[in-house]
């Protein structure tokens, strides 16, 4: 599984997973509740500084945020055209801050640790018959598949490009769906062979 986790340590790696996850939860909620550009800009600045302080491991992954940067620019542009510039700026800042926070969490926290926190949080529900282990595994698989989509899209696009001379765009949606369903079947088989069910 290709992941964003960085094996090179940063100061964030040392913090316990539950703390980071709780901070992201609280941070995400706060961001949603904030509506004014100036406080949001300050928050964004702080988050950016934290991100930069992580060193090379984080800067290397900043490429992932390029998509977010483009999205932010588009949002602002759209709102400028509509005359609601402030709203656009607010949205873009929120998006950027949340993305940075999430990326910081992902690259500094082992998946297994995140799952452990989840299981601990959900444990009380086990009495009610909620299958917490399965939920944890489901979330893990979900993230794994999400990462995989981009790679599969890329491969399909390359294959299309070689034969058609240009990119596939929306035409690839159908073969991509089939391809991902087939991947899910194979992953399920591998899982079944290890779990026995």
Partner 1 sequence: MPDDGLRLEDVTLVRGTRRVFEGLTLHLTERRIGLVGDNGAGKSSLFRLLCGLDRPEAGRVRVHGLDTVSERRQLPRHIGLMFQNPDDQIVFPTVAEELAFSLTAQGAARAAARAQAKDFLAQRGLADWAGRAVGELSQGQRQQVCLLALQICSPRTLLLDEPFASLDLPSQARLSAQLAATAQQVVVSTHQLDTVRDFERVLWLADGQVRADGPGPAVCAAYADDVRARAEASPPHHGMPHA
Partner 2 sequence: MTSSAGSLTSSRSLSYVALFAALMAVFGLIPKIDLPFGVPITLQSLGVMLAGCLLGPRRGFCAVALFLLAVALGLPLLPGGRGGLGVFVGPTAGFLFGWMFGAFACGLLMRRMARLSGAALWAGAFAAALVGGILVVYAFGIAGLSWVAHMSLTQATMAMLVFIPGDLVKCALCALLVQTVMRGMPGWRLDRD
Which residues contact partner 1 (rule: CB under 8 A)?
A: 1-3, 5-7, 110-112, 116, 137, 140-141, 144, 183, 186-187, 189-197
DSSP character at residue 129: T
Residue 139 near which of partner 2, partner 1, none (CB within 5-8 Å, type-dependent): partner 2
56 vs 150, beta carbon nearer partner 2: 150
19 to 60, 119, 143, 176: CA distances (angstroms): 24, 15, 20, 37
For position 31 contacting partner 2 by CB under 8 A, the verdict is yes
Chain-centre distance of CA 29, in angstroms? 16
Note whether 12 binds partner 2 by CB under 8 A. no
DSSP per-residue string spanning 14-64: GS-HHHHHHHHHHHHHHHHH---HHHHHHHHHHHHHHHHTT-HHHHHHGGG
Quickly tell me which residue has 């949205």 as its tokens.
Answer: 91
CB of 95 to partner 2, least distance (A): 4
Among 47, 54, 98, 104, binds partner 2 (CB under 8 A): 98
Q: Which of the stretches 10-18, 20-28, 45-53, 54-62 binds partner 2 when contact is defined by CB under 8 A?
A: 20-28
* Dihedrals phi, psi of 136, to nearest 5 degrees: -60, -45
Q: How far is the CB of 133 from partner 2 (least distance, A)?
A: 11
Q: How far is the CB of 86 from partner 2 (least distance, A)?
A: 11
Of residues 1 and 82, the one with the C-beta less far from partner 1: 1
d(C-alpha 18, C-alpha 117), whole Å: 6
């Amino acid at each position: 599984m290709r992941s964003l986790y960085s094996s090179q340590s940063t100061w964030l790696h040392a913090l316990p997973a539950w703390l980071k996850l709780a901070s992201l939860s609280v941070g995400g909620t706060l961001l949603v509740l904030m509506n004014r550009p100036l406080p949001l800009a300050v928050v964004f600045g702080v988050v950016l500084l934290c991100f930069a302080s992580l060193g090379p491991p984080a800067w290397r992954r900043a490429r992932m945020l390029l998509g977010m940067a483009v999205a932010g620019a588009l949002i602002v542009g759209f709102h400028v055209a509509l005359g609601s510039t402030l709203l656009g700026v607010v949205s873009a800042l929120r998006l950027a801050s949340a993305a940075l926070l999430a990326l910081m969490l992902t690259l500094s926290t082992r998946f297994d640790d995140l799952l452990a926190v989840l299981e601990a949080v959900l444990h009380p529900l086990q009495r009610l018959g909620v299958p917490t282990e399965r939920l944890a595994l489901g979330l893990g698989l979900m993230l794994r598949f999400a990462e995989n989509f981009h790679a599969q899209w890329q491969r399909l696009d390359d294959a299309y490009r070689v034969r058609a001379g240009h990119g596939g765009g929306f035409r690839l949606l159908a073969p991509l769906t089939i391809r991902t369903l087939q991947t899910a079947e194979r992953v399920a088989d591998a899982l079944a062979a290890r779990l026995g069910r």
